Amino acid sequence: MTVIDLVKRLFAAKPSVSFERPELDPGKLRLLIELTSFDKGGLEKVVLDSAIAFNRDRFDVTIVTAGAVGHLGAVAREAGLRVIGLPQRNTLGAYAQLLDQLKPDLAMSHFSYLGYPLFAKYRIENITFIHNVYAFFSPEQAHAFAENDRYVGRYISVSKNATRYAIAKLGVRPEKVITVPNGLIISEHEAREKNPGSLCRADLGIGETDYVFANVASYNLHKGHYLMVDAMKRILAKRSDIRILCVGNPVYPPHVDALKQLIMREGLEKHMLMPGYVAEVADVHRIADAFLLPSFIEGWSIAMNEAMFYRKPMILTDTGASAEVIENGDIGILVPNEYGDTTKLDSATLDQLAYAPRAYNITSRLVEAMETMADHREEWAVRGTLGRAKIYSSYDFKGIVRRYEEVIEEVVREQRR
């Protein structure tokens, strides 16, 4: 039995759900965006922001999910977007009915594959986003990705490293991938910057003359928290004026508990601070001197873009897009990663590096970079200002969305030939 035959069986019975028939403008390109849920989360926020930013005079946008439609879904509806939550029963049948009504010109998927066989059946071109270096895939996930490649006409990848990994490890043909960086909604941060800050160094026990590295990232140990512990141990043996401020949400609480216990055992609790989530990222950067993100894996870090906007010099490990934004040491220091070339990374290696404390090979390089910035703070403060210029010139989200639109229109033109 073919995949198409299976799909026919799944929605042969008429679904019991009915959708309000959409009002479609024949002069617009009909774009369907699929994701696994639309409630909260970084990926969902990216989808929301891009959907809102699409040219409404040119695109009619529908967002579809078989998961929860929550906060961000409500925000999207308030912004005038069509948001459809599929039913749990006869989901594919309902999805097919929706496609019959919408007749989309193109589908875009974000780490969600539910509609792929339907897109093939209805001859709907499909663009899939590659949001990360997918080295965290299990062998089963990697196999599923490779199998689903037949349903994808074009990929949009967020960084050169993410693109290289997809080609080398997941079997994606180079001609199918376009690399488009993540951008920053500048107006949001311009508004945040004008608000008076409510967070002070004294609130966290940080001295005014201390050199503070902000680590704005979820408490996901793939971000290199044990590497920061190793570096901070070596630094504190020599000096006490450098601190790391880690702000973010826990991903897996037992991992975070183990990390905090190690920090306490090593006597680092005053120098590697973990206060949890801070709502206003501007407040964090306001009290910090620099940005630190020694991740083992990234796609394109939005936190990196934010640090650039707030004029912070950066120390980044060579993963994701770090080598694309730090050019010849202009706005930061690039530290080699622990495993070498990105394509050498896999899920087992990633977890071994991230989930247990160890002495890392690159710790000395990280320590050197941190001390260099602390010892030459005025010079690096000036260099940090260059990051904002890069955001305005190259990573304004409006310009990034225009590039998405160009890819969409190119794919639709090719389909209609």
Q: What is the pLDDT of residues 300-311, one digit of tens each?
A: 999 999 999 999
Q: Report how far apart, in Å, the C-alpha atoms of 41 and of each of 38, 72, 165, 195, 395 are.
A: 8, 9, 24, 24, 21
pLDDT averaged over every residue in the chain: 93
Structure tokens at 18: 């009915």
Q: What is the structure's pLDDT at 26?
A: 76
Average pLDDT over residues 294-298: 98
Strand partners, 156: 129, 178
Residue 16 has pLDDT above 60, yes or no: no
Q: What is the structure's pLDDT at 344?
A: 93
How big is the chain by its Cα radius of gyration, in Å?
23
Q: What is the structure's pLDDT at 8?
A: 47
Q: Which CATH number fits domain 186-395: 3.30.1330.40, 2.30.40.10, 3.40.50.2000, 3.10.129.10?
A: 3.40.50.2000
Query: H helices of 124-244, where?
Result: 139-148, 160-170, 186-194, 225-236
Which amino acid is residue 60, in one-letter code? D
Residue 412 has pLDDT above 50, yes or no: yes
Residue 373 has pLDDT above 60, yes or no: yes
What is the C-alpha separation between 242 and 209, in angstroms, rounded?
Answer: 9
How many CB atoms neighbour CB 280 within 10 A? 13
Q: 268: closest CA among 288, 295, 240? A: 240
Q: What is the structure's pLDDT at 382?
A: 98
Q: What is the pLDDT of residues 127-168, one digit of tens each?
A: 999 999 999 999 999 999 999 999 999 999 999 999 999 999
pLDDT band at 13 (very low <50, low <70, confident <90, very high): very low
- Between strands 125-130 and 332-335, the pairing is unpaired
Structure tokens at 363: 């710790």
Residue 1 has pLDDT above 50, yes or no: no
Asked whether the domain spanning 186-395 has the same topology as the one spanning 3-183+398-416, the reply is: yes
pLDDT band at 4 (very low <50, low <70, confident <90, very high): very low
Across 12-21, 136-145, 265-274, 330-339, least confident range: 12-21
Location of structure tokens 């439609």: 69
Average pLDDT over residues 173-180: 97
Average pLDDT over residues 200-214: 96
CATH number for the domain formed by residue range(s) 3-183+398-416 = 3.40.50.2000
Please state, for a pLDDT cut of 70, what percent of the chain lies above it: 94
pLDDT band at 11 (very low <50, low <70, confident <90, very high): very low
Average pLDDT over residues 347-359: 96
Q: Report how far apart, in Å, the C-alpha atoms of 172 and of each of 122, 178, 283, 406 are.
A: 23, 11, 41, 21
pLDDT band at 22 (very low <50, low <70, confident <90, very high): low
Give the domain ranges of the chain.
Answer: 3-183+398-416, 186-395
Q: What is the structure's pLDDT at 7?
A: 45
pLDDT band at 410 (very low <50, low <70, confident <90, very high): very high
pLDDT band at 43 (very low <50, low <70, confident <90, very high): confident
- Ranges of beta strands (E only) in 135-280 are 154-157, 177-179, 211-216, 242-247, 272-276
Q: What is the structure's pLDDT at 416?
A: 83
